[in-house]
Structure 1
């Protein structure tokens, strides 16, 4: 069965003023939609057809650029939309809070590390919070549409939080002010969803 562009769990203007409606609409209907279409085209008639996106990425042949780029783009954006919320922000609680304190020392230290990964990612890419079996958390940056599920990319965990730092994610509103966009992102993080993913993957 072909992959489908997921519907957003909120309206395009729901994340304003942090992410504007025009950016959201273009990002979802143009960029994410293109990754979805191109991924389906890349796997049509191959042994990858019918597999989950996680299975495809975990066993990816990194030389297969079409699947690497579009499969990554499809998965990354699927996660990105779900960890954003108009009612987001604040800090995590419960087991996730404890794991962040154990892995980084405090929420503030985690945030500083995540902000640095996102800010210093040269060109296009992503910043991630990943969890390994056993509950250890790690901050990882990846270029382009790569992510930590892919072999030999960096990090050994499953992403539970991701931030898109491609210019198409923020340029209409923030232009070259990537740090301002990154700071605004934390006003939108749906920590309940991140905690749900943590509980499944730890």
Structure 2
């Protein structure tokens, strides 16, 4: 039903200040406010690669899109996963189709990558990096524990010092890129950064090693919620790190390096 309200006309207002003529009431219609439709949140399991037979497929998420709120909002997570990440997956499949790379794992591709091949470099990196990032998040974050905490204490002095250095690296990284905690070839934990979709597995990486933790600092990872406040996003990130998964990766790296 339309809302109605009685208002005084201009002529009536004049009457107040002049000779006190009869006041005229006029009925006008006030339009109803527009209804804002909320976008239904999707299911990560429904996001599939365009090429169902492609070498690389979407792995899903170990939580719902809103499972990391309030630290990472649902709309950002949905856009990040169902738009950006699947885009890297689709373009990677197209880039390797009909080549010998189709039969290789993503890690094998990255370690022996011809860095001049931008289509493979960008999309293989984007596919690997995002899988890694999403996998090492969960709703029950906290501080590191077990073997990885012992290594952090040994190589950084304390968890707080590691957190400080990691946060500073993420804050100071210019433009778009990633911050990593890696195990280098000596077995030491090292913080490194890479630009765009590069990572420490690549042959031309400034600091090489096996990743055990990664933070995406591309704007699409945080801008809907935090806008230009990257530092707030970085602080929030430490509430959703899946340290159990990070510890598994740390132990696996100890075997392979």
SS in 2 for 1:49: helix
Aligned length: 201
Distance 1:136 1:108 in 2: 18
SS in 1 for 2:55: coil
Matches within 5 A, 1:111-126: 111-126=163-178
SS in 2 for 1:48: helix
Residue in structure 2 matched with residue 179 of structure 1 by the alignment: 231
Q: TM-score, normalised by structure 1?
A: 0.97
C-alpha displacement at 1:201, in angstroms? 0.3
Distance 2:169 2:101 in 1: 32
C-alpha displacement at 1:134, in angstroms? 5.0
- Runs of 5+ in structure 2 lacking a partner? 1-53
Given that 1:132 and 1:201 are in contact with CA atoms closer than 8 Å, whether structure 2 keeps it comes out as no
SS in 1 for 2:126: helix
Is 2:86 aligned against 1:33?
yes
Matches within 5 A, 1:34-183: 34-88=87-141, 90-133=142-185, 135-183=187-235
Over the aligned positions, Cα root-mean-square deviation in angstroms equals 1.0
Given that 2:202 and 2:208 are in contact with CA atoms closer than 8 Å, whether structure 1 keeps it comes out as no
Q: TM-score, normalised by structure 2?
A: 0.77
Extract structure 1 runs of 4+ deviating beyond 4 A. Answer: none
SS in 2 for 1:162: strand
Distance 1:156 1:128 in 2: 11
